[in-house]
Amino acid sequence: MLDEVRNLLLKEAFQSPLLLSDLAGLEQYIAESYHNRSFIELLQNADDAKASKFAIIKRDNFLFIANNGRDFTLSDLESLCRSASSSKIRGTAIGYRGVGFKSVVGIAQRIYLVSGEMEISFCRDKTKEEIPLATKVPLIRIPHAISEQERQNISAGVYELKAKGYSTIFIFSDLIANEIEQEFISVEYKSLLFLKNVSKVELLTDTPIAISLDKQIVKSNQYAISFKTNNSISKWLLYTDNDVAIAFQGIDENNTMPNDEAFVYAFLPTEDITGLGALINGDFSTDPSRRHVIFDANTNQVIDKVGHLVLKIIEDSLNNPSTESFGIIKALIPNNDPRIAMMKRHSFSNLLLNSLKNIAINIDFFKNIRLSPTWLNNPDFILFGKAKQSKVIENEYYEINGLINFLKYLGAKESSFENIKQFISGDVVISNQGCCEILSYLISKTQFDKTYLHSISKDWKILISKGQQWSFNQIAENRMQLDNTFLNYFYEKGFTASDLNKFFGFFFAQDILKGMLENEKDNVDDRTILNEPKNGINDLLKSFFSQQNSNDRNGLSIKKWRSAEQQVLDIFHQKGYKVEDVSRQNLGYDLIGISPEGKSIFIEVKSIETPGQRFKLTNNEIAVAQEKKNSFILALLRQTPTYIELTLVQNPIDNLTFNRQCVQWIWECIDYEYNPFRFET
């Protein structure tokens, strides 16, 4: 049977020696186009043959490449010998062009194949002897018998591999040393993530390398992969659906793949980037070198498949908050503003963004999701949203840079006041800050539309007196005075006393209004919020303060001249706290996190230049500090050319004295104990 294939190919060569010479040129072109990809081409062939393990072993002047897949058939052999002739159907196998194996001619002058009962060799000299009229001949075209001497030369390596369970073995001799070395260096290990069958790879050269994949099913179409190379281990999370796959590396909230490492794979990596913090694999059309994606109809269809999978992952992650889902969402935020994707030239990342938008239009999740309006803080909005049973995302997701704009790009909408006003008087208890924000919104709206005043309910508990929330009716009935901290919030927002009088004048009689808005008497006691500092240190910071307080570095690694917020964030991280920077969100604190004991903390950072220097708190910061009490930490940071000093005050409202200064209604402290930690830089 083997002779039938050989004789047919010889007959064709005799009949057209010029064609044989042309095939030799084509073979060389393929080898150059697939430069440094021979090993990976053989790996994909092994995976298509249902192999579970793959080995590359260098012994003296021979290179053995083996797998334990199904044995070669005569049909396989004929496809191997011909160019662009493959029995594989696109979409059912990694390789389908029938040219990849020709790339091996760039690494050796002679090749042997041992698979089951089949034993053949490829050799230009032998082919030239049989077809003397050809000016040049290809290496892989005419199969020859293996001579007894050749069999003896390779028998030891073949025996060793068969003993290990390998059934198909390629042997390369007369090696091209430089090319072999480059092949080992260029092996793309990440391609193993997208294999369907191979789970173990061995590279045994002068420096043995063992690569293995531990692939565990997390749930349907989701896999946790441990990728091991000698002593190195990397963790991956793989999502698959409809013949496409997305791979995330080392998923956690602080680790996403750099943009310049997130390549598109057509099993083999191309040089096109995904635009996301993840690898994407699919049956994309590529140029002959497989280095670039071709944007034909097939590629566009596969991009749409990827789009469906990306949106499915986003929806699942937003619905099931966790450290892992937080990291996944960060990885799926586009590296470029999606709103300008339509204006850019064709690229994979831009086509994917356009696909995402077009698909999301028809997905209920993205049509129905409601985002926090810009005038209301996220935690309070989420309380309203859940009461209304709206589709809302958890607060921690708002801290992911770019997510909100991305969700808007996908069709999510900001919630309106009309969506939440019915719950203001219900059982939903919001923060004092939320009350300030809602009332600020109402004052602004009624300045442009007086008729809107009639839609405001006097039962809404959004006024603050004596630190508690009251309705308009309750304030009137009890002739209560609004807190100065509450009123000052509106002055900070740019409203005037006249604005407040006009607004509240609609709801209250003049005598009640006068008492309600009357400023406190201007004396020392009234200017001071609290003037009896408490001694001692609360439990929350015991672990921090128990560190040695000296002029050494306290075992921390400190960098020079960063922002005060970044320095404090880094110090708390190194002390075992889990802290995030939210300084841009105007929440009344700069950092939020969890102590080593699992307690929530809110840190307001102030930078000072000299010990005892005055610092100021805004009315918003004072209001939050009053609400958070022992969970609120004031961090005073001083940076010098040689060291950093940090003073921490827990619950500053109860432990410091603040005087109200008529500048822009800020709160200033001039009396505090300066007992810092010092960190050399």
Q: Is residue 233 part of a domain?
A: yes
Q: What angle do CA 228, 229, 230 make, to 5 degrees?
A: 110
Same domain, 7 and 128: yes
Q: Assess if residue 65 is contained within a domain.
A: yes
Check whether residue 185 and residue 246 sit in a common domain. no
Distance of CA 501 to the CA centre of its chain: 50
Assess if residue 59 is contained within a domain. Answer: yes
Q: What pLDDT, on a 0 to 100 scale, did the predictor assign at position 409?
A: 93
CATH number for the domain spanning 78: value is 3.30.565
pLDDT at 89: 41
List of the chain residues with pLDDT < 70: 1, 34-36, 84-100, 177-178, 185-186, 205-209, 252-255, 341-345, 426, 518-561, 641, 661-666, 670, 680-681
The answer as to whether 168 is a domain residue is: yes
pLDDT at 344: 62
Residue 216's pLDDT is what?
A: 86
Q: Are residues 442 and 581 in the same domain?
A: no
| Predicted local confidence at residue 526, as pLDDT | 34
Supply the pLDDT for residue 91.
46
| In-domain check, residue 328 | yes
Q: Both 670 and 604 in a single domain?
A: yes
State whether 275 and 173 are in the same domain: no
Does the residue 401 lie in any domain?
A: no
Q: Is 15 exposed, middle or buried (0-12, 13-18, 19+ CB in 10 A)?
A: exposed
Residue 169 confidence (pLDDT): 95
Q: Tell me: do 199 and 295 sit in the same domain.
A: no
Q: Can you tell me the distance from the alpha carbon of 590 to that of 652, in angstroms, rounded to the nearest whole number?
A: 15
One domain for residues 68 and 197: yes
Of the candidates 309, 325, 360, which is a domain's last residue? 360
For residue 459, the enclosing domain spans 431-519
Q: Are residues 185 and 38 in the same domain?
A: yes
Which residues on adjacent β-strands are paired with residue 53?
200
Number of domains the chain contains: 4
Which pLDDT score is estimated for 70?
A: 93
Same domain flag for 47 and 170: yes
Residues 654 and 592 in one domain: yes
Q: Residue 664 belongs to a domain with what CATH number?
A: 3.40.1350.10
Within-domain flag for 525: no
Reported as type and span, the H/E element at residue 414 is strand 413-414
- Its pTM stands at 0.67
Say if 194 falls within a structural domain.
yes
Per-residue model confidence (pLDDT) at position 550: 43
Helices (H), 226-289: none
Question: Domain ends where: 519, 549, 580?
Answer: 519
Q: Are residues 143 and 19 in the same domain?
A: yes
Q: Which residue, of 171, 190, 207, is where some domain finishes?
A: 207
SS3 at position 213: strand
Burial class (CB in 10 A: 0-12, 13-18, 19+), 160: middle
As a whole-number percent, the residues of the chain with pLDDT over 70 amount to 85
pLDDT at 623: 86
Same domain, 110 and 201: yes
